[in-house]
Amino acid sequence: MPQRKPSNFSPQQQLHSLDARLVLSLQRLSDMLKALQWEQARTLGLTPLQLQILLFIGYHPAELNKVAHIATELQLSRPTISDAAASLVSKGLLEMQPDKRDRRSFSMLPTEVGRDILLKAEEYVLPLTEVLEKRPAFEKNNLYQTIFAMIAGLMNQESGELQRMCYTCAHYQGNKKRQHNCLFLNKSLASAELQIDCMYHSTLS
């Protein structure tokens, strides 16, 4: 019987393994952000999912603000997204806009009230923003490069594959190490300039 690999969640393993401490740290950070998100959503009379949908729709173009796309973006089912979006419409925070190219398709846009709520919805990240503002630039550059590499690594394992990041973009040219070039912007990019949600992203297919 093969020996069981030590758990990253074991305090004993964390004493000896930096990888274990990093996994736990990222999990704790995720939990803290979720708690902040839950509290902000409760204050605004929303569910955390409704808050996520509102934030996404508020800052992305109409062609991305469709149920099917958001469902894939958040890795949830279409009915789940559809129900949450319908609730936002009933609350007067979103409105449906027919697609001019396909009348059977609809995009979602924030209403005037929705835009006001949107500004309050995003405030849950302020504590993290304040912490980051106090860190030196070189530290943040290194941290971002590490996080980007981790997201790319998980994406290669068929998780998070819808990220609009440089590595999945038709405009990207480079070796995914230290050489990065954006053909759309016609410029070289530093590793800390690589994007994970780029407005100019173009699929490779």
203 CB-near residues (< 8 Å, 6+ apart): 168, 169, 170
Give domain status of residue 7, yes or no. no
Same domain, 117 and 145: no
Q: Residue 112: in which H helix or E strand, if any?
A: helix 112-121
Q: Residue 179: in which H helix or E strand, if any?
A: none
Same domain, 98 and 150: no
Phi, psi at 89, each rounded to 5°: -65, -45
Look up residue 101 and give its DSSP letter: T
Nearest to 50 by CA among 125, 110, 128, 104: 110
Q: How far apart are CA 78 and CA 134, in angstroms?
A: 40
| Domain count of the fold of the chain | 2
121 CB-near residues (< 8 Å, 6+ apart): 40, 41, 44, 46, 51, 54, 55, 58
* Domain's final residue, options 134, 161, 177: 134
Tell me the CATH number at 107: 1.10.10.10
pLDDT of residue 120: 97
Same domain, 142 and 130: no
Q: How far apart are CA 94 and CA 70, in angstroms?
A: 14
pTM, to two decimals: 0.85
* Domain's final residue, options 117, 134, 151: 134
Kindly report the number of other CB atoms within 10 A of residue 110's CB atom: 20
* Domain's final residue, options 82, 113, 134: 134
Q: Encoding tokens for residue 4?
A: 């069981």
pLDDT of residue 157: 55
Give domain status of residue 99, yes or no. yes
Same domain, 52 and 121: yes
Range of the domain at 63: 38-134
For residues 202 and 173, is the Cβ–Cβ distance under 8 A?
no
Nearest to 149 by CA among 131, 133, 163: 163
Same domain, 120 and 147: no
Instruction: Please report, in tens digits, the pLDDT of each residue of the chain (205 residues total).
Output: 566 788 888 888 889 899 999 999 999 999 999 999 999 999 999 999 999 999 999 999 988 999 988 998 888 999 999 999 999 999 999 999 887 776 677 899 999 999 999 999 999 999 999 999 999 999 999 999 999 999 888 876 555 456 789 998 999 999 998 899 999 999 999 999 999 999 899 886 5
Q: How far apart are CA 40 and CA 46, in angstroms?
A: 8
Look up residue 4 and give its DSSP letter: P
pLDDT of residue 190: 93
Same domain, 127 and 107: yes
Placement of tokens 């796309």 in the chain: 69
Q: How far apart are CA 69 and CA 89, in angstroms?
A: 18
Same domain, 105 and 170: no
Give domain status of residue 79, yes or no. yes
